[in-house]
Amino acid sequence: MQLGAPHPERWNVSDLILFLVEHGGGRTRPLTWECLAFVQGLALELSRKVIGVVLGNNIDSVCAEVAAAKVQEIWKVSAPELETYNPDCFSAALCQIIKPAEPYAFAFAHTYRTIDFAPKLAAALNVGFISDITRYRIDGGRPVFTKSVFHDKLAAEVSFCAAPPHLLSIQIGSFPGDAAQREGRAPVQEKPVNLAGVPDRRRMLQIIQAMKNQVDLSRAQIIVAVGRGIGKQENLKVAQELAAALGAEIGASRPIVDMEWLPRDRQIGSSGQTVAPRVYFAIGISGAIQHIVGMKNSAFVVAINKDPNAPIFKVANYGIVGDLFEVVPALTQAVKQQKGNG
Amino acid sequence: MKIIACIKQVPEKDTRFEINPQGTWIQEQELTFEINECDVYALEEALRLKEKHGGEVVLLSLGGESAEKTMRRGLALGADRGILILAARDQTTDPFTVARALLTQVRLEQPDLVLTGVRSDDQAFSQTGTLLAELLGWPHATIVMKIDWEAGAGRLTIQRELEAGLLEEVSLPFPAVLTIQQGINQVRYPSLKGIMAARKKELRRVNWAATGVSGDRKIAIEKLVFPKSDKKSEIIGGTPRDAAATLVEKMKKEMKIL
């Protein structure tokens, strides 16, 4: 497939970049604009056209909302089977849209739902899928995508070997939604799908609140959060002493909670609580993206880690590279002294 | 119940990585390896299902000869036997190629369930298990935090994680592929007896050529780089005591929490 400027009169089959509109409760979700910002940028560089795809049931208000952004068209894919998420129906509907349209690419936000159905869609279409993209560049007319690998300590540049359509998912927070061009007026086209033949296999039973948060960390002014670097459960007291000296709440990254060293209501990150304290101390936390999304809005971040390449240092205002078992007790001591003087 | 647990060998989490001179992968010499974290939870879940309902747990992996070490660890934890598809590095980086190779062995074994981790610690595409499910034509669920099965029932009930502390409970029929999230259980450590027994357990090697999977890859990792940093944190140096004193000054004057 040759890339380059499309013929001006007609859309060539590979001129389209589609993206999935994220919505809920009859409104678009902010992730939609992150995805739009990404595809608008990509479309501009590759001379393609952007089409938003809305999947669901009773989605007119969502279609209208996103049709008022700068897109070529909105495709409304409405069916009762799409009311509740189901990977078989989602994948079948998108297959029926993608096959005749033969777009150059289809982009998603890398959500837990996308993880659930996009690889299935890729296999059904027999195409490539580059997931969790944080950046891209164009190299000789060909896009090369960057994603985090090895616990976010390294980045990989990934490209497609297979022909389009290319499936893409973008990491949440990597393409700010404010960059999306929101002014426009696009026609809404209905795209009928037939889901009658989709096997009834996976059935949604209910949505459960995993645990009622006993501790609301979102109100904490100071949080001392510990990660895998703490090593052993007994070592938690090093962090707890600092927290006590500061009057801070204790938080944790996922592995600490998975090992049951602290209760789940202390977990900070994508599957735990989202916090924004005045100061966030990250102790022995390497800073995988799932953790970062839960604490990046803290006013100040202080990271203490022995690995100078730990990704936590990319979001920290202040960092101390060293052995936390030396640094944290010294800090606790210094805080106590300061408070004693004050 | 016959369960295949797909595991991957990855470098230990604490590793400080160096990139190879070609820039295409990490320097693997002298690294120590372990079973990918989510896969350990998947194996543990497989072992628990076997302990409750009977049956067999078969380990399936794809990698170099060196992957035998982590396979033996999986056998020491309690898996009954293992299958190792021998593959070169460039055959392991494309999730589609990996899924197609795994498919050949799953078809031969015909298990009731395939369990694997949600994502790998190295590439983290989060695709392989779901690709495999679709290639098999089986139902699947990802990011699984709980598996319930009543002996004899035709369907499983599982809970899968959603964002912000929510879980989605779904049911699905056998056979199925489940990708397991870390934290679903508390993993065991191998016993001495288990380690001894593992040496004698069957570990079948399958040469790449025998899988019949061609080089039709979908995506390729061109190179690895150290991530660009948009924001540099100010690194406070000196002895722990000096660093603590500097930080306390900043906590007082700038952060205003003291």
pLDDT digits (tens, 9 = 90+) for A323-335: 999 999 999 999 9
The values of phi and psi at residue B215, to 5°, are -85, 25
Look at residue A11 and tell me whether its pLDDT is greater than 50: no
**pLDDT, averaged across chain A:** 92
pLDDT, average across residues B241-246: 95
Name which of B219, B241, B255 to mutate to probe chain A: the one with the most chain A Cβ atoms within 10 A of its Cβ.
B219
Whether B226 is in a domain gets the answer no
ipTM confidence score:
0.92
Instruction: Find out whether A218 and A274 touch, Cβ atoms under 8 Å.
Output: yes
Provide the shortest C-alpha distance from residue A11 to chain B (in Å).
25
Distance of alpha carbon A37 from alpha carbon A52, whole angstroms: 12
Provide the shortest C-alpha distance from residue A16 to chain B (in Å).
20
Distance of alpha carbon B160 from alpha carbon B166, whole angstroms: 9
Measure CB to CB from residue A123 to each of B135, B142, B159 and give the nearest one.
B135
Quote the tokens at residue A304: 């203490």
Instruction: Find out whether B109 and B4 touch, Cβ atoms under 8 Å.
Output: yes
pLDDT, average across residues B50-68: 96
Find the domain containing B111 and state its range.
2-211
Distance of alpha carbon B253 from alpha carbon B258, whole angstroms: 8
Measure CB to CB from residue A112 to each of B143, B183, B186 and give the nearest one.
B143
**Nearest C-alpha in B relative to A229:** B14
pLDDT digits (tens, 9 = 90+) for A44-91: 999 999 999 999 999 999 999 999 999 999 999 999 999 999 999 999
Q: A162 vs B233: CB contact, 8 Å cut-off?
A: no
**The predicted structure's pLDDT at residue B230:** 63
- Count how many pairs of residues, chain A against chain B, have C-beta atoms within 8 Å: 271
* Domain harbouring B95, CATH code: 3.40.50.620
Give whole-number Cα distances, B56 to A103, B40, B61, B75, B215, in Å. 45, 17, 16, 12, 32
Q: B162 vs A254: CB contact, 8 Å cut-off?
A: no
Whether B232 is in a domain gets the answer no
pLDDT, average across residues B84-111: 95
The values of phi and psi at residue B76, to 5°, are -65, -30
Which of these, B224, B239, B205, lies nearest to B81 by C-alpha position?
B205
pLDDT, average across residues B143-171: 93
- CB contacts of A117 in chain B (<8 Å) are 130
**The predicted structure's pLDDT at residue B16:** 84
- CB contacts of A150 in chain B (<8 Å) are 11, 15, 17, 26, 121-122
Q: B165 vs A314: CB contact, 8 Å cut-off?
A: no
Q: B219 vs A313: CB contact, 8 Å cut-off?
A: no
pLDDT, average across residues A113-119: 97
Q: A203 vs B172: CB contact, 8 Å cut-off?
A: yes
**The predicted structure's pLDDT at residue B15:** 83
**Looking at the DSSP assignment, which residues form a beta bridge with residue B81?**
B58
Torsion of Cα atoms, A20 then A24 then A28 then A29, to 10°: -90
**Nearest C-alpha in B relative to A91:** B134
**The predicted structure's pLDDT at residue A9:** 39
**pLDDT, averaged across chain B:** 94
Look at residue B164 and tell me whether its pLDDT is greater than 80: no
pLDDT digits (tens, 9 = 90+) for A175-192: 999 999 999 999 999 999
Look up the CATH superfamily of A13-190. Answer: HUPs (3.40.50.620)
- Total domains in chain B come to 1
Q: A130 vs B219: CB contact, 8 Å cut-off?
A: yes
pLDDT-based confidence at residue A4 (cuts at 50, 70, 90)? very low
Q: What angle do CA A276, A280, A286 make, to 5 degrees?
A: 110
Distance of alpha carbon A303 from alpha carbon B125, whole angstroms: 27
**The predicted structure's pLDDT at residue A186:** 96
**The predicted structure's pLDDT at residue A5:** 41
Number of other CB atoms surrounding residue A299 within 10 Å: 14
Domain ranges of chain A: 13-190, 217-341
**The predicted structure's pLDDT at residue A342:** 58
> Residue B140: enclosing H or E segment and its boundaries?
strand B140-148
Whether B246 is in a domain gets the answer no
**The predicted structure's pLDDT at residue B165:** 78
Q: By percentage, how much of chain B surpasses pLDDT 70?
A: 99
Look at residue A170 and tell me whether its pLDDT is greater than 60: yes
**The predicted structure's pLDDT at residue A213:** 63
Provide the shortest C-alpha distance from residue A173 to chain B (in Å).
14
Look at residue A1 and tell me whether its pLDDT is greater than 80: no
Look at residue A2 and tell me whether its pLDDT is greater than 50: no
- The CATH code belonging to domain A217-341 is 3.40.50.1220
Whether B188 is in a domain gets the answer yes
Instruction: Find out whether B79 and B59 touch, Cβ atoms under 8 Å.
Output: yes
Look at residue B118 and tell me whether its pLDDT is greater than 70: yes
Look at residue B193 and tell me whether its pLDDT is greater than 70: yes
Name which of A129, A217, A267, A280 to mutate to probe chain B: the one with the most chain B Cβ atoms within 10 A of its Cβ.
A129
Q: B247 vs A320: CB contact, 8 Å cut-off?
A: yes
Measure CB to CB from residue B125 to each of A131, A221, A342 and give the nearest one.
A131
Distance of alpha carbon B2 from alpha carbon B197, whole angstroms: 20
Provide the shortest C-alpha distance from residue B51 to chain A (in Å).
22
pLDDT digits (tens, 9 = 90+) for A90-109: 999 999 999 999 999 999 99
Q: B157 vs A205: CB contact, 8 Å cut-off?
A: yes
Quote the tokens at residue A64: 């209208």
Which of these, A247, A249, A318, A226, lies nearest to B257 by C-alpha position?
A247
**The predicted structure's pLDDT at residue B233:** 85
Q: A317 vs B234: CB contact, 8 Å cut-off?
A: yes
Lowest mean pLDDT among A66-80, A328-342, B29-43, B113-127: A328-342
Look at residue B94 and tell me whether its pLDDT is greater than 80: yes
- CB contacts of B186 in chain A (<8 Å) are 259-260
| More reliable by pLDDT, A312 or A151 | A312
Please write down the long-range contacts of A190-194, taking CB distance under 8 Å and 24 or more positions apart: A190/A75, A190/A76, A190/A78, A191/A53, A191/A75, A191/A76, A191/A77, A191/A97, A193/A77, A193/A79, A193/A92, A193/A93, A193/A96, A193/A97, A194/A96
**The predicted structure's pLDDT at residue A7:** 39
CB within 8 Å of B97: residues ≥ 6 apart? B91, B213, B215, B216, B217, B218
Measure CB to CB from residue A157 to each of B160, B169, B222 and give the nearest one.
B222
